[in-house]
């Protein structure tokens, strides 16, 4: 799967998004066969709330095509960063579009920026990044990255343990550190560590998104006759 290029026709091995509704979509790999729990090779059938689809039937279809299910229909879409975020399995906290947009803005990222992202889980973006597995809290980011990084993003259970290593990785002209933590206790410990290390301009943000819905209602005309009075 790659977000860099687009295709017209679905091929064997592609990753597609099966779109049933804005709140009901699935990511699946297009393969004719799969293994069941017993290890047997069987036809690959994907089951949805509107029925099942034979995955092999998607091969040769154009992206955006409407496919028929046993009790409805769905669209087969090419993955985009937004759709991939919405269909990614939620094992831990997920960084959604409002969060990622704020992070990119605050870290002042631009084409050509060199960024380190550390996390405790898989993100599904290995087509865009160089992956290395190590304990950054103990080992740091490696001598080869010393003073070469524009920004460091830490999505870890104990981000304060990696702050000293992140400082070494940042360019000597300066850089940005960003932390993503679900608990306020983590935020407090991280901020205390930053201040003790001489960091300035430390901010904490909570990004909330609320959609406004416009509704039209008919209201009765008020009878104001009782308010009338005569002037003598």
**pLDDT 10s per residue in the chain (232 long)?**
567 778 899 999 899 999 999 889 999 989 988 888 888 888 888 999 899 898 999 999 999 999 988 888 999 999 888 888 788 766 556 777 788 889 999 999 988 899 998 875 555 555 567 778 888 999 999 899 999 999 999 989 899 999 999 999 999 998 999 999 989 999 999 999 999 988 888 999 998 888 888 888 888 888 877 777 666 6
Nearest CA to 192 out of 207, 206, 175, 204 is that of 204
Q: Which pLDDT does position 17 carry in this prediction?
A: 93
Three-class SS string for the chain? CCCCCCCCECCCCCEEEEEEECCEEEEEECCCEEECCCCCEEECEEEECCEEEEHHHHCCCECCCEEEECCEEEEEECCCHHHHHHHCCCCCCCCCHHHHHHHHHHCCCCCCCCEEEEECCCCCCCCCCCCCCCCHHHHCCCHHHCCCECEEEEECCCHHHHHHHHHHHECCCCCEEEECCCCHHHHHHHHHHHHHCCCCCCCCCCCCCCCCCCCCCCCCCCCCHHHCCCCC
CATH of domain 9-82: 3.10.330.20
Q: Which pLDDT does position 217 carry in this prediction?
A: 87
**Is 155 annotated as contributing to ligand binding?**
yes
Beta carbons of 118 and 149 less than 8 angstroms apart: no
Beta carbons of 194 and 164 less than 8 angstroms apart: no
Q: Which pLDDT does position 192 carry in this prediction?
A: 95
CATH of domain 90-197: 3.40.50.150
* Whole-number Cα distances in Å, 39 to 43, 44, 54, 150, 152: 13, 13, 19, 47, 42
Q: So where are the chain's domains?
A: 9-82, 90-197
Q: Which pLDDT does position 90 carry in this prediction?
A: 61
The Cα 55–Cα 181 span in angstroms is: 38
């Amino acid at each position: 799967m790659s977000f860099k290029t687009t295709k017209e026709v679905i091929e064997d091995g592609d990753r597609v998004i099966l779109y049933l509704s804005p709140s009901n979509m699935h990511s699946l790999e297009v393969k004719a066969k799969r293994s069941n729990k017993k290890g047997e090779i069987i036809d690959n059938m994907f089951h949805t709330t509107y029925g099942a689809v034979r995955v092999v039937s998607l091969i040769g279809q154009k992206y955006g095509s409407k496919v028929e299910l046993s009790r409805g229909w769905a669209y087969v879409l090419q993955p985009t960063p937004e759709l991939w975020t919405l269909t990614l399995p939620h094992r831990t906290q997920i960084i959604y579009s409002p969060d990622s947009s704020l992070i990119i803005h605050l870290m002042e990222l631009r084409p050509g920026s060199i960024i380190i992202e550390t996390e405790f889980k898989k993100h599904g973006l290995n087509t865009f990044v160089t992956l290395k597995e190590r304990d950054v809290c103990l080992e740091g980011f490696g001598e080869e990255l010393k003073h070469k990084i524009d920004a460091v993003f830490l999505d870890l259970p104990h981000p304060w343990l990696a702050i000293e290593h992140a400082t070494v990785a940042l360019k000597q002209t300066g850089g940005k550190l960003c932390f993503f933590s679900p608990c306020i206790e983590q935020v407090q410990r991280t901020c205390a560590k930053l201040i003790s290390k001489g960091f300035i301009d430390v901010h904490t943000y909570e990004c909330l998104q609320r959609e406004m819905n416009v509704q039209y209602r008919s209201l009765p005309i008020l009878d104001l006759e009782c308010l009338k009075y005569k002037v003598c």
